[in-house]
């Protein structure tokens, strides 16, 4: 089976974000255009150079892309709508990368924009769920947290340290929804939501936008894009629901997708400098860094306590602040991860900069379940 990187090279050339924020009256068009214009300025290319756009939204309803993009000029470019739950932005990015890798376009843009609207289609299947809590994420992850505590022997305080780290990172990120550093005591004292999880250990609801421009090598040369600010897409892997014999589906899919990405990349987890992980709930970061092979099973909390996942540690995990602090508006989230990794690999992350960053992995899971993983390389 051919992989995207078996085709021609693809590079991230421009990134843009509208800061993630709590719900406002701002239209999605204003949010999205802000991110697109920032990405165009970052790449230094005009709007007519973009040949294809993949617009990721999970909550806006159908046909959101064209009414937004016409304000930049009606160029007749190919516009496709993308929706894949939490992995919407990651999937839009993969589609843009595939468009350029295949030679169908030299310049493509992936855009994610959302507001806190809409509902989950699975609620209308007409099939009675196994449990009333089966499709309530915070209840599910509260149970997974309790299971992890029992099996690994860790404490609630050690799980809460994920939120302490990520809120600290988010406080340094001008695009983050939550920009306040939190102590362990503050995290533990937040209002309870489900079991051991509370409001500061769960991602906030909100809105925002992100955009990423990808280009072929020919286009980089044609438009005079600065090569030292481009980042190569080294791997792209995605997978969905399988039979996992009672395993946590998100964890099992993460193992599958990251292993496929490592094989495509030709690298090893120990070679990763930056990892942006789906941490909508604090426990997810520990489950997923273990699934990715950044540490052995059950060792995540210990590695966290040792500083291995801090900015400046062995591997900076969610230097953006992660979903816990950066926020999770759905459509933009995966693209926001790509933007953060690109900024880190360029050495442009300011106070969040991880020294010597050369490689980064972006990971998102979504309802389905699905999992999408990308590896970027300087």
User: How confident is the model over 164-185, as a mean pLDDT?
Assistant: 98
**Is the pLDDT assigned to residue 123 strictly greater than 70?**
no
Give pLDDT, residue 277: 98
pLDDT category of residue 54 using cuts at 50, 70 and 90: very high
Q: Superfamily assignment of 132-204+232-377 in CATH?
A: Thiolase/Chalcone synthase (3.40.47.10)
**Is the pLDDT assigned to residue 245 strictly greater than 90?**
no
Q: Specify the higher pLDDT residue, 377 or 251.
A: 377
Domain ranges of the chain: 4-118+205-231, 132-204+232-377
pLDDT category of residue 69 using cuts at 50, 70 and 90: very high
For 88, residues 6+ apart whose C-beta sits below 8 A from its C-beta are: 56, 57, 58, 82, 112, 114, 330, 331, 333, 334, 366
Q: Specify the higher pLDDT residue, 151 or 56.
A: 56
Structure tokens at 138: 């915070």
User: How confident is the model over 74-94, as a mean pLDDT?
Assistant: 96
Give pLDDT, residue 241: 78
**Is the pLDDT assigned to residue 329 strictly greater than 70?**
yes
CA dihedral 284, 287, 290, 295 (to 10 degrees): 80
Give pLDDT, residue 135: 56
Are 4-118+205-231 and 132-204+232-377 the same fold in CATH?
yes
User: How confident is the model over 152-179, as a mean pLDDT?
Assistant: 94
User: How confident is the model over 274-293, as a mean pLDDT?
Assistant: 95
User: How confident is the model over 34-58, as a mean pLDDT?
Assistant: 98
The dihedral region occupied by 37, where left means phi > 0, alpha psi between -120 and 50, and beta the remainder, is alpha
Give pLDDT, residue 344: 98
pLDDT category of residue 5 using cuts at 50, 70 and 90: confident
CA distance linking residue 9 with residue 1, whole number of Å = 18
CA distance linking residue 114 with residue 209, whole number of Å = 7
Q: Which CATH architecture has domain 4-118+205-231?
A: 3-Layer(aba) Sandwich (3.40)
**Is the pLDDT assigned to residue 148 strictly greater than 90?**
no
Q: Which of 3-17, 132-146, 238-252 has the highest mean pLDDT?
A: 3-17
pLDDT category of residue 126 using cuts at 50, 70 and 90: low
User: How confident is the model over 84-107, as a mean pLDDT?
Assistant: 97
pLDDT category of residue 229 using cuts at 50, 70 and 90: very high
pTM comes to 0.94
Residue holding tokens 């500061």? Answer: 200
User: How confident is the model over 359-371, as a mean pLDDT?
Assistant: 93
User: How confident is the model over 173-184, as a mean pLDDT?
Assistant: 98
Closest C-alpha among 53, 50, 48 to residue 65: 53
Task: Please name every residue paired with 17 in a beta bridge, in sequence order, or none if there are none.
Answer: 210
User: How confident is the model over 209-213, as a mean pLDDT?
Assistant: 98
**Is the pLDDT assigned to residue 130 strictly greater than 60?**
no
**Is the pLDDT assigned to residue 265 strictly greater than 60?**
yes
CB 291 within 8 A of CB 299: no
pLDDT category of residue 250 using cuts at 50, 70 and 90: confident
Question: What mean pLDDT is reported for the chain?
Answer: 92
Residue holding tokens 């204003």? Answer: 30
Give pLDDT, residue 109: 98
Q: Is 47 exposed, middle or buried (0-12, 13-18, 19+ CB in 10 A)?
A: middle
User: How confident is the model over 31-40, as a mean pLDDT?
Assistant: 98
User: How confident is the model over 7-20, as a mean pLDDT?
Assistant: 98
- Point out the least confidently predicted range of 98-102, 119-123, 156-160: 119-123
For 302, residues 6+ apart whose C-beta sits below 8 A from its C-beta are: 295
Give pLDDT, residue 2: 80
CB 378 within 8 A of CB 357: yes
Q: Specify the higher pLDDT residue, 216 or 151.
A: 216
pLDDT category of residue 24 using cuts at 50, 70 and 90: very high
């Amino acid at each position: 089976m051919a992989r995207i990187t078996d085709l021609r090279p693809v590079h991230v050339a421009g990134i843009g974000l509208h800061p993630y924020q709590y719900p406002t009256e701002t239209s999605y068009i204003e949010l999205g255009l802000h991110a697109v214009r920032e990405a165009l300025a970052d790449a230094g290319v005009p709007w007519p150079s973009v040949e294809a756009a993949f617009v990721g939204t999970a909550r806006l309803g159908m046909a959101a892309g064209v009414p937004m993009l016409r304000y930049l000029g009606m160029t007749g470019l190919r516009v496709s709508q993308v929706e894949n739950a939490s992995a919407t932005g990651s999937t839009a990015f993969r589609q843009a990368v595939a468009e350029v890798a295949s030679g169908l376009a030299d310049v493509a843009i992936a855009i994610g924009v959302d507001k806190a609207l809409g509902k989950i289609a699975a609620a209308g299947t007409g099939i009675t769920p196994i449990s009333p809590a089966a499709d309530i994420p915070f209840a599910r992850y509260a149970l997974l947290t309790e299971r992890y505590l029992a099996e690994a022997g860790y404490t609630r305080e050690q799980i809460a340290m994920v939120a302490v780290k990520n809120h600290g990172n988010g406080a340094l990120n001008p695009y983050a929804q939550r920009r306040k550093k939190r102590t362990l005591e503050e995290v533990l004292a937040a209002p309870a939501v489900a079991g051991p999880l509370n409001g500061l250990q769960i991602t906030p609801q909100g809105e925002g936008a992100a955009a990423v421009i990808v280009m072929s090598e020919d286009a980089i040369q044609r438009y005079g894009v600065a090569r030292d600010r481009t980042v190569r897409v080294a791997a792209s892997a995605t997978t969905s629901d399988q039979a996992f014999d009672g395993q946590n589906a998100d964890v099992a899919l993460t193992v599958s997708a990251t292993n496929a990405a490592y094989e495509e990349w030709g690298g090893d987890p120990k070679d990763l400098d930056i990892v942006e992980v789906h941490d909508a709930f604090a426990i997810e970061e520990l489950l997923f860094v273990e699934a990715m092979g950044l540490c052995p099973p059950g060792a995540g909390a210990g590695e966290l306590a040792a500083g291995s996942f801090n900015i400046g540690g062995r591997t900076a995990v969610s230097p953006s602040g992660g979903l816990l602090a950066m926020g999770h508006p759905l459509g933009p989230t995966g693209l926001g991860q790509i933007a953060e990794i690109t900024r880190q690999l360029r050495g442009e992350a300011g106070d969040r900069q991880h020294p010597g960053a050369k490689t980064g992995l972006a990971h998102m899971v979504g309802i389905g379940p699905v999992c999408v993983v990308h590896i970027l390389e300087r």
